[in-house]
Chain A
Amino acid sequence: MGRIKIDNNRCKSCYLCVTTCPKGLIKKSSKTNRLGDYLVEFDDKNGECIGCAMCAKRCPDMAIIEVYK
């Protein structure tokens, strides 16, 4: 079971992580950061994350700052 940490203030709502995650664990959120960007949230209730770090490699703003495996 893996885990990621998202820095909300770096996120710019490009949602590339949403389409990249092979397990579909990253979802669009209704929350915004201080710039008004709709954020993403990591939703892994069943412990499906495999810690592949594809989301972090894809994120153009390095908003996914830590990935654990």
Chain B
Amino acid sequence: MQQVFSIPKSMKKDFKYTFCPGCDHGVAIRLVAELLDEMNLRENTICSTSIGCSVFLYDFLDVDCVEAPHGRACASATGVKRARPDKFVFTYQGDGDFASIGLAESMHTALRGECVSAICINNTTYGMTGGQLGPTTIMGQVTTTSPYGRNREYYGYPIRVAEQIALCDGTAYSARVALDTIPHINQAKQALKKAFEVQLQGLGFGFVEILSSCPTNWHMTPQEAHIRVKEEMIPVFPLGVYKDITTEKGE
């Protein structure tokens, strides 16, 4: 009998996720861990973590981590990469961290073309603090701070992060993926691999936005949450690769 799945070696021994049941953070962390194994990067990695549910990364992933102030993971990743250019540096952030409080740092890291990889988990809400309206909350979505649903007059429009980062000249790769179905999980792994590769090749900033579910704050079962990702989120945040300079050169 051939073993086709095992726990990635980059995970800490005897870890147990502290996320809510059905949270897609666990899948995203597993994909990162599998890629660190496959690309043999584990001993050479420094991770810059954020604030929010994504902060727990360093409890589970067996790599060196530096904790950044809220939103400043890309800025501290810049410092780490410039001090140690031989290391593989990536950030793992939520949408509130990357696209709200840290938007300036994130965007300028992309504009400077820093050779770091950034992962943004988009669940359209602030998960850890109780489901408040975030920068990516979609129109009409009810949250604890938008009890009548997000509207244009009072709250404005959500930000499409992958498209915005793709507009920056220093970006080498920008893509949006989802984790609602198995094919999408496989695509997410390919996108993450590409974002890691552009850093290793020294081409520039690699970015992946991952559409994730938050069953607790959406008040849904995990199954219903994945249906919401498919039916409500993907039409607003279309999946795809928005910038890839490796293929542009080849054409």
Task: Give chain A's interface residues, CB within 8 Å of chain B.
Answer: 2-3, 9-10, 12-16, 19-20, 37, 51, 53-54, 56-62, 64-69
Contact = CB atoms under 8 A, between A and B. Distances in A.
Main secondary structure of the interface of B (DSSP, over half): mixed
Contacts of B83: none
9 contacts: A12-B20, A37-B21, A53-B5, A57-B185, A58-B27, A59-B26, A61-B19, A64-B5, A69-B2
B36 to A, nearest CB: 15
Contacts, number: 74
Interface string B1-25: 1111111000100001101111111
Contact of A53 (B4, B16, B19, B25): B4
Given A53-B5, A67-B3, A68-B3, A60 B223 contact: no
A66 B5 CA distance: 5
A51 B2 CA distance: 9
B5 A56 contact: yes
Contact of A60 (B3, B16, B26): B26
Contacts of B20: 12
B17 A69 contact: no
Contacts of A66: 3, 5-6
Interface string B177-218: 000001001100000000000000000000000000001000
A38 B17 CA distance: 17
B3 A62 contact: no
Interface of B: 1-7, 11, 16-17, 19-27, 30, 182, 185-186, 215, 222-223, 226
A12 to B, nearest CB: 4
A15 B5 contact: no
Most B CB contacts (10 A, CB to CB) among A9, A53, A62, A69 go to A62
Nearest to A54: B182
Contacts of A67: 3-5
A9 to B, nearest CB: 7
A47 to B, nearest CB: 12
A64 B30 CA distance: 12
A19 B6 contact: no
B1 A10 contact: no
B228 to A, nearest CB: 14
A60 B23 contact: yes
Nearest to A1: B1
Contacts of B17: 10, 60-62
Contacts of B2: 51, 68-69
A68 B223 CA distance: 26
